[in-house]
Structure 1
Amino acid sequence: MSPEDRPAGSGPQAALPGCYRHPGTETGVSCTRCERPICPQCMVTASVGFQCPECVGRGHTGARRATTRFGGVPVADGALVTRLLILANLLVWVLAAYVFTPQLDRVWSLYSVGLHRNGPEGVAEGPDQWYRLLTATFLHVEWWHIGTNMLALLVLGPALEEALGRLRFLGLYLLAGLGGSTLGFLIDGDWLNSRGASGAIFGLIGATVVLQLRTKGPLGPVLALLVFNAIVTYSRRDAIDWRAHLGGLLLGALVAVGLMYAPRERRGLVQGLTVVAALAVEAGMLAIGMGLYGG
């Protein structure tokens, strides 16, 4: 057969097309969607054949992002924030009980003396002292105090963190702790000195009740824990800040309702408004307390 009779594109002179992203690389593979040539560096395995990166990206556009049950980002370690909170509380306890004793306790506790007690001092003194509303929730001095609180956090935290996601769980914990502090200041800010994570822990108890109701899980264990802690709290009202427990329980439960019952189609908006509303309630309690006890 003469060269003139040979079919076009046959023989050693026929070259493979170049990859559309790397023109210098010849390839015999084409994208199954757009049919453009792709080299081994660009090809992405599909259910049938290979696809180019652009078609794979377009295929993912509009796909629903995986979330936890209530909108959080799924992660392999669902209890990281719980462990970090425990670590933070333990670190502050060591510093307060053994290193900066008693200075850290005096500076970080939920301390308030109102005008009727020759104040104002502490929280009642004004914005420069309002940080105590948060720092007191990480402050413990006695080993049994931090021991019981951290054990409860270890039991309650992982399930809530896994369901809510890290950011929502952290927000719930902090809002509950602040709720306990602000209610304590509102009720007894004329003469107050309190510390501990109990408000936040009671908030997790309230949130766990809401979680069990939302998921139709067993209520018995968490209700038994709530009743036990309530009995201990109100039987030792002179040694335990029942105001922080009550405030944390109420704020934790209310925030959990907003986070867990938000409709899927407006979840972000409803959950954001829930956080704003909780902060507004706490700011309102602080403002009323300042009107009662402040200068």
Structure 2
Amino acid sequence: MTGTLYVVATPIGNLEDISARALRVLREVSLIAAEDTRHSRKLLAHFAIDTPLMACHEHNERATSAHLLERLQQGQDLALISDAGTPLISDPGYPLVQQARAAGIAVVPIPGACALIAALSVSGLPADGFIFDGFLPSKTTARRARLEQLARQSQTLIFYEAPHRLLACLTDMTEVFGDDRPAVLARELTKTFETLISAPLARLQRQVTENTQQQRGECVLLVGGFKEDSADKALGSEALHLLDLLLQELSPAKAASLAAKISGQNKRLFYRAALERKNH
């Protein structure tokens, strides 16, 4: 008989959010594969759990997965946890789960906290359809390129972001999505300084700029979906005809800049319209 791999969600902040089932499984398994054993040891100590730990993180998970798979095939039950929230959601664990399922080993979810779902549930943005894109690229050019690909998506967009990149990310979102796109910053969810700020992107960017406290901690960014023809209606037919001519020879950014100079209209509106045409 092979063992079972339990994928166990742990709290994202408030330790009371761990489930009774998760605690039972963590006590009963032979080994816990953890993203950071130092971090997880504190969690286990809080609940008086002395199950052995093994590190399974992004730098060693492919090599470690082979060893863990062997233990599962020997009949041992194992648990997989991340530093916070649900494993594999922008966290390590995919190779182990993939290999275990391919080998016919039972993989059982122990559900619990997940930052993106917690943020979405209280955001006030549509939750019947959404796109979770994890962490955006750290470099400006790549980040903007990815945002441009998502600019016309009608579903709510959800991202994780590191605090030291939050302001740059909001600046790029404002440029690509437009000043008025509704957005929410959910920061330090379930923790002492939990904060939820809802505002159009340009205003949210200003608030984060002015209040550096909002540039700390774990961040989830949610952005409302694209509304059809918003930029087109604001610019008018003559301005759009000018933009279409320029787009025949120039990139969206350069075409938008030149169209704004010629017409005297808002550069960001031209840029949004250019992206809409590019992605249509």
TM class by smaller structure: under 0.3
Q: Please identify which structure carries the higher helix content.
A: 1
**TM-score, with length taken from structure 2:** 0.23
Q: Please identify which structure carries the higher strand content.
A: 2
